[in-house]
Amino acid sequence: MAQSDRKLIVVTGFGPFVGHEEVNASWEAVQLLPDVLIYEGNEYQLEKRKVAVEYAAVDEAVEDIWQQQPELVVHVGVSGIAKCVCVEKLAYNHQFRRPDNAGQYLDKATCCLPHNAHANVLRTGLNVDKIVHAVNATCKDCVSPALSDNDKTSMEATRVSKNVGGFLCGYIYLRSLDVDCKRSLFVHVPPIDKPFSTPQTAEIVYKIIEECVQQLADC
């Protein structure tokens, strides 16, 4: 199938920022994703984009991405405190108090959304609980091994989260949810090797994308 005939999935990762100056685990994982996903005979082109940690760069990227009318948009960011891959349910519109890499702030720590004005919270229409359950059930090779059969602290591949944060991760998610909440998702990945290698993280993200595609196809 020609690339132009495939449905489009856009996956973004972020560039460096304070605390992750040398490498951003999100972009490292996104780069390893395949170029094509096949589900029930349908081919999806995966477009991978690196976004600078700046409000203006996010605005430009989100506008350009949605002009392409993608089937799905998955934003990926890194969290220094994440212990597994966190699938985010929602984004808030009142927490953007930190300056970006260009030293820019958002006025009053909020933004006026083109479609939802000053909505305080936007939620994804994708079933995050179902995504997490399915990925954890099929991604056994990506999890940290338990110390014993009775150990309850062994790591799962993914978990549900309601804390996307108030920096550029939350901002890019909010902007995409404003355009189409039914086709937008944000995923936080942990730092490299804490506990997952980059290939392991990429595998988990890919499985999350597969679950999203299945949900959209079943609608």
Question: Of 84, 181, 188, 210, which is the active-site residue?
Answer: 188
Does the annotation count 169 as an active-site position? yes
133 is catalytic: no
DSSP 87-125: EE-EEESS---S--TTS---GGG---BTTTBT-SEEE-S
> What spatial distance separates the first Cα and last Cα of the chain, rounded to whole Å?
24
Q: Judging by DSSP bridges, how do beta strands 42-51 and 36-39 pair with one another?
A: antiparallel
Nearest in space to 39 (alpha carbons), one of 72, 74, 85: 72
C-alpha separations of 123 from 54, 81, 100, 172 in Å:
23, 22, 24, 13
The residue annotated as part of the active site, out of 28, 54, 88, 211, is 88
What sign results for the dihedral spanned by CA atoms 101, 161, 152, 189? negative
Active-site hit among 169, 203, 211, 212: 169
- Please say if 20 is a catalytic residue: no
| Active-site annotation, residues | 88, 169, 188
